[in-house]
């Protein structure tokens, strides 16, 4: 008797979801056949777990394509990339054990989408702006370039530029969040990093998605050289499932 096959899980839905999976291909090479595991009132969308699953573009794209196909037709709980269950019985056990929690979350996410917002401040452009706009920084820089500045001058210049750039990042982040927060029902904001001055996910009602996207685009277009605001969405509510 053959052993049960482990399964790769994409998402959880209610059994009322259309679950139209025709032509959908899953992760793996060759791509796995996507199918439904049914519980009492909930379903899980799965495929056979590949032996060679890796964080490769092919598998990531397949994972998200299945989730976006499902989400386009009704509320889903998208599962993070790489989740594998021992077999279909293990999936049914989780659906039964957490049925109330999953159903409640699906109701909360119905008619809502996720938008991701990331802001990038070009460091060279930010430094140029500091030297143009800050008199003290400009004077310290000129002394340093002319070779008459002291070690303390160079240290002071570095600290001043760092403080000014950080202040600029914080002001930009506050501006973006202040503009977008009123249009969302929930948010998840990551701490500022060297890469992004703002990195946030917003959960947005369907009837405000267009306004949210338009507001984000207007913000992006309003920034000058060296500031890039990236907006992705509407997407399945990956961050809120």
Instruction: Label residue 130 by pLDDT band (50, 70, 90).
Output: low
- Closest by CA to 7, choosing from 75, 70, 94, 109, is 94
d(CA 189, CA 166): 18
Provide the 8-state DSSP code for 197: S
Q: Which helix (H) or strand (E) holds 210?
A: helix 209-222
Helices 123-133 + 135-145 axis angle, to 10: 100
Segment among 15-29, 30-44, 145-159 with least mean pLDDT: 145-159
Phi and psi at 71, nearest 5°, equal: -65, -30
pLDDT at 18: 94
Average pLDDT over every residue of 3-15:
89
Instruction: Label residue 2 by pLDDT band (50, 70, 90).
Output: very low
User: Judging by DSSP bridges, how do beta strands 198-205 and 7-14 pair with one another?
Assistant: unpaired
d(CA 108, CA 195): 32
Q: Give yes or no for a contact between 217 and 231, defined as CB atoms under 8 angstroms apart.
A: yes
**In which residue are the tokens 């509407």 written?**
234
Instruction: Label residue 1 by pLDDT band (50, 70, 90).
Output: very low
- Read off the pLDDT of residues 164-208 as tens digits, 9 standing for 90 and up: 778 888 999 999 999 999 999 999 999 888 889 999 999 999 999
Per the structure block, which two tokens stand in for 105? Answer: 């979350």
Provide the 8-state DSSP code for 40: S
The C-alpha angle 232, 233, 238, rounded to 5 degrees, equals 100
Global confidence as pTM: 0.83
Segment among 55-59, 90-94, 114-118, 235-239 with least mean pLDDT: 55-59
Phi and psi at 111, nearest 5°, equal: 70, 20
Radius of gyration for the chain, computed over Cα atoms and rounded to the nearest angstrom: 24
Q: Give yes or no for a contact between 66 and 11, defined as CB atoms under 8 angstroms apart.
A: yes
Q: Is 90 exceeded by the pLDDT of residue 156? A: no
Q: How many CB atoms lie within 10 A of CB 38?
A: 14
């Amino acid at each position: 008797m053959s052993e049960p096959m482990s399964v790769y899980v994409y998402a959880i839905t209610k059994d009322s979801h259309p679950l139209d999976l025709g032509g959908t291909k899953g992760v793996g090479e060759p791509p796995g056949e996507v199918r439904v595991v049914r519980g009492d009132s909930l379903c899980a969308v799965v495929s056979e777990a590949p032996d060679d699953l890796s964080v490769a573009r092919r598998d990531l794209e397949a994972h998200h394509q299945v989730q976006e196909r499902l989400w386009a037709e009704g509320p889903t709980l998208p599962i993070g990339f790489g989740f594998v269950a021992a077999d279909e019985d293990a999936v049914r056990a989780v659906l039964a054990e957490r049925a109330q929690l999953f159903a409640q979350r699906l109701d909360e996410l119905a008619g809502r989408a996720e938008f991701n917002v990331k802001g990038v401040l070009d460091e060279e452009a930010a430094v140029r702006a500091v030297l143009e706009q800050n008199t003290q920084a400009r004077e310290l820089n000129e002394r340093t370039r002319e070779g008459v500045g002291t070690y303390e001058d160079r240290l002071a210049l570095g600290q001043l530029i760092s403080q000014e750039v950080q202040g600029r990042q914080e002001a930009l982040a506050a501006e973006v969040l202040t503009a977008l927060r009123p249009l969302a029902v929930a948010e998840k904001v990551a701490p500022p990093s060297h890469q992004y001055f703002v990195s946030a996910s917003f959960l947005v009602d369907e009837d405000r998605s267009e306004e949210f996207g338009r507001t984000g685009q207007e913000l992006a277009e309003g920034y000058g050289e060296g500031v890039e605001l990236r907006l992705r969405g509407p997407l399945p509510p990956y961050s809120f499932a």
